[in-house]
């Protein structure tokens, strides 16, 4: 081992310990606040106490007290805080209940913060859909000429019919432009197919309701299993949603996006689960 490595190893070890001890400090805060220990020890506030004794910022103290209050009755989440810190449980803290805390603790433990955020967001959407509303109102900004032409086209008819007509036309056109699927040993998506998928997505994540720019093209039929690039089975996704797929947390992935649903746990019997594990392991080496 050369001297650089030695120095680096030391830093990693000390840093790791520093974080561990900071997590321990954080967990003591609610009790210190409850018993007003800071006052008894001559400090002006808990912030002064935490800053002078542990180098904690005001923000850290506030966040710790807020989050720890919410997990008072959730020992599994408390354990995750002890292991991984407060930040990891933030995405799940408002959705977990004493009955479901075990499930959410597992998610907070195994997912990164942004993965957990995406997952809880989808969960909420799914949960909060007791039936879709019949009609929704949207506001769009148009040039006056275009607005006028559209009004004319609609005439005395319904906006829904006109818009549906446009959508069907777009779909038909995309269908005509769609390249054939390619069977190959090469993982590289052929340029034609890539271009088509990006055009279809309009460079936006194709997960229903998501408006983030797309970052990754995802095979809903894993390439490793099928050795094909099928434009109907490749979707443009944002990173957050792509991660959910690779964690096996999207049900009916092989169907069209409208059918995708969030799962509680991955289906470990699905052959793609093994592939996804490999992908996740491979990636965790880099991120």
Contact positions vs Zn ion (CB under 5 A): 205, 207, 210, 212, 238, 241
- The smaller minimum CB distance to Zn ion, of residues 67 and 205, is found at 205
| Least distance between Zn ion and beta carbon 41 (Å) | 49
Residue number with CB closer to Zn ion (206 or 276): 206
Q: Among residues 45 and 114, whose Cβ is nearest to Zn ion?
A: 114
Closer residue to Zn ion, CB minimum distance, 63 or 215? 215
- Minimum Å gap between C-beta 131 and Zn ion is 24
Shorter beta-carbon distance to Zn ion: residue 241 or 272: 241
Least separation in angstroms between residue 226's CB and Zn ion is 23
Distance CA 56, CA 61 (A): 7
Q: Provide the minimum distance between the beta carbon of 215 and Zn ion in the complex, in angstroms, as a whole number.
A: 9
State which residue, 66 or 261, has the beta carbon closest to Zn ion: 261
The full length of the chain comes to: 287
Q: Which residues contact 38 (CB under 8 A, 6 or more apart)?
A: 32, 45, 46, 48, 49, 50
Q: How far is the CB of 206 from Zn ion (least distance, A)?
A: 8
CB 207, min distance to Zn ion, A: 4
Nearer to Zn ion, 213 or 271 (CB): 213
Between 191-201 and 159-177, two packed helices, what is the crossing angle to 10 degrees?
Answer: 170
Is the CB of residue 83 less than 8 Å from the CB of residue 44? no
Residue 192: CB partners within 8 Å, gap ≥ 6? 179
- Rounded to the nearest whole angstrom, what is the least distance from the CB of residue 262 to Zn ion in the complex? 13
Q: At closest approach, how far in Å is the CB of 218 from Zn ion? A: 10
Cβ distance to Zn ion smaller for residue 111 or 238 = 238
């Amino acid at each position: 081992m050369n001297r650089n490595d030695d120095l680096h190893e030391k830093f990693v070890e000390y840093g790791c310990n520093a974080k561990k001890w900071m997590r321990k400090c954080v967990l003591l805060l609610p009790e210190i606040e409850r018993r007003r220990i800071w006052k008894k020890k001559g400090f002006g506030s808990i912030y002064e106490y935490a800053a002078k004794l542990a180098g904690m910022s005001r923000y850290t103290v506030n966040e710790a007290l807020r989050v720890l209050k919410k997990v008072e009755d959730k020992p599994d989440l408390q354990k995750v805080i002890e292991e991984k810190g407060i930040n990891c449980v933030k995405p799940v803290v408002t959705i977990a209940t004493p009955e479901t805390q075990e499930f959410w603790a597992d998610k907070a433990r195994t997912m990164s913060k942004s993965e957990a955020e995406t997952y809880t967001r989808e969960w909420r959407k799914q949960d909060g859909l007791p039936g879709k509303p019949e009609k929704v109102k949207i506001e769009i900004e148009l040039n006056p000429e275009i607005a006028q032409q559209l009004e004319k086209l609609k005439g005395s008819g319904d906006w829904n019919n006109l818009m549906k007509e446009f959508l069907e036309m777009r779909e038909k056109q995309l269908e005509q432009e769609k390249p054939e699927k390619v069977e190959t040993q090469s993982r590289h998506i052929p340029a034609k197919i890539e271009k088509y998928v990006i055009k279809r997505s309009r460079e936006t994540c194709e997960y229903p309701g998501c408006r983030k720019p797309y970052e990754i093209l995802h095979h809903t039929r894993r390439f490793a299993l099928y050795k094909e690039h099928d434009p109907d089975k490749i979707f443009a996704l944002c990173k957050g949603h792509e991660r959910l797929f690779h964690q096996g947390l999207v049900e009916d992935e092989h169907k069209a996006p409208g059918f995708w649903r969030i799962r509680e746990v991955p289906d470990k019997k699905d052959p793609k689960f093994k592939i996804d594990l490999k992908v996740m392991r491979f990636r965790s080496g880099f991120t």
